[in-house]
Amino acid sequence: MDRFVSRFTDLATGFPSVLGLRLYVGARLVHGDLSEYNILVVPSALVENAIPSNDDQEMDLQVVLIDFGQAVDFRHPEARSFLERDLSRVRSFFAKQGVKTMNMKDSFEFVVNDAEELAIVEEECVGVHSVVSDPLEAQS
């Protein structure tokens, strides 16, 4: 059991930022109500679309998010505040568990800046202006 706790702590260290990035850039969504209650950590063998890992199979854990009923497109007028709230809640939970994570400002910038970089790459590939570029800038 201690091995799983150790592995969970490893996952949690960068989790709020990586989680936001995968959801924000990959799915172009902001959860809108993310908390520890919407995050499951399960063995990868139980996940249909598991993310491949080079880790020991016995220790390979996968994070699964649930409850997307209130998720919004990342261009939604409230996306910025929802993203900040999501990151803050998850960071707060891990802080209570004694897990040090990226600070809020760095977490937010990590997520948003990677989305902007993706928009630039998409624009170069497609040759047209992407709707992804600077989704939150107009809201500031």
Q: Could you list the residue range(s) of the whole structural domain that residue 105 is in?
A: 2-139
**Does 86 qualify as catalytic in the annotation?**
no
Out of 10, 60, 67, 114, the active site residue is 67
C-alpha dihedral, 111 to 105 to 17 to 131, nearest 10°: -10
User: Any catalytic annotation for residue 33?
Assistant: yes
Give the CATH number of the domain where residue 85 resides: 1.10.510.10
C-alpha pair distances (Å), 28 with each of 94, 96, 98:
24, 29, 30
pTM exceeding the 0.75 threshold for the entire prediction: no
One digit per residue, pLDDT tens: the chain, 140 residues? 455 556 566 666 556 656 777 788 788 899 999 998 998 888 878 878 766 666 555 567 777 889 999 999 988 999 999 999 998 998 898 888 888 888 889 888 888 876 666 666 556 665 544 444 455 554 45
Scanning the chain, the segments in alpha helix (DSSP H) are 2-13, 15-21, 79-96, 104-126
How many domains does one find in the chain?
1
